[in-house]
Amino acid sequence: MAKLIDGKAFAEGLRGRIAKAVAELKAGQGFTPGLAVVLVGEDPASKVYVANKAKQTVEVGMNSWEYKLPAETPEAEVLALVEKLNADPAVHGILVQLPLPKHIDSTKVLTAISPAKDVDGFHVVNVGKLSTGQDSLVPCTPVGSVMLARDVLGKLDGLEAVVIGRSNIVGKPVAQLLLAENCTVTIAHSRTKDLPAVVRRADLVIAAVGRPEMVKGDWLKPGACVIDVGINRIERDGKGKLVGDCDFASCEKVAGSITPVPGGVGPMTIACLLYNTVKAACAAKGIRQPEM
Ligand code: GUN
């Protein structure tokens, strides 16, 4: 049976180290890192995420601002808010929750965020820096996924990694991070031919396709490390249930280690967002960031 990778416990530890770093910055440097989160509309999942982000930001001792705008807010108003936050020196990180309502151009909004405050790492400047090996703000879920893989496998040098999914939020940036860790990286997706055969090559599987329980145990190389980024809400036995992109029951019989859903990668995302906010704050102040 696979070892369970406890993302909840790892994220708690990371948040503890971030809280310590924030306390040090307050005492030693006299400033408090701050994160502003913008939510447009009423998407129920987004509301839960945003509430959790704000709660955990305050718990580690940082300043938190929440902007909740109605779904029909014109694009120009969202852009004006981003400009206001860009100009505010107390705000070190800006996150605009996705998805945005259809009448708003997400790319335009994400590009309006100052790259120095882009704690999601979605701005083309940060994407470009990541892909050329320059220090940058890196997307949170990919960083959290790689942290968990490193925690269980140690060095990732030379491993065969297969990423399933090619999104800008997870698939592409996680592939860049694994490449930087000296993995041999394959990005597979919905059009990949014979996906099970491709996945069977992998020492490390990162599943980020958004298809409930797609990856089966007999697709895995025995002993592989499986990082399941999927969070899918399904109906089973008349009840709502959260499942990943991997069929946990069959995968845990073959994998060497596997993240559960929930309690795997999910809790890492917000912890990494807080990490990025401290990083952005220290860069803005021109000081070295504390160990975290
Ligand atoms: N919606 C779902 N995941 C994310 C994320 O990581 N960042 C933002 N801004 N929106 C999201």
Is CATH 3.30.565.10 the right assignment for the domain spanning 140-267? no
Domain positions in the chain: 30-116, 140-267
pLDDT digits (tens, 9 = 90+) for 151-191: 999 999 999 999 999 999 999 999 999 999 999 999 999 89
Name residue, tokens 């909004």: 109
Name residues whose C-beta falls within 8 Å of residue 194's C-beta, 6 or more positions apart in sequence. Answer: none
CA distance linking residue 110 with residue 96, whole number of Å: 8
pLDDT higher than 90, residue 115: yes
CA-based nearest residue to 145, from 279, 50, 61, 261: 261
Q: What's the rounded mean pLDDT across residues 77-94?
A: 98
Q: Whose CA is nearest to atom 4 of ligand 1?
A: 98
Query: Using a 6 Å cutoff on CB, does residue 104 contact ligand 1?
Result: no
Predicted local confidence at residue 127, as pLDDT: 98
With 0-12 CB in 10 A as exposed, 13-18 as middle and 19+ as buried, what is 158? exposed
Find the distance separating the first CA and the last CA of the chain, reported in whole Å. Answer: 32
Distance in Å, CA 199 to ligand 1 centroid: 26
Q: Among candidates 55, 129, 96, which has minimal Cα distance to 283?
A: 129
d(CA 168, CA 174): 9
**Quick one: fold of 30-116?**
Rossmann fold (3.40.50)
State pTM to two decimals: 0.96
Contact 281, 92 (CB under 8 A): yes
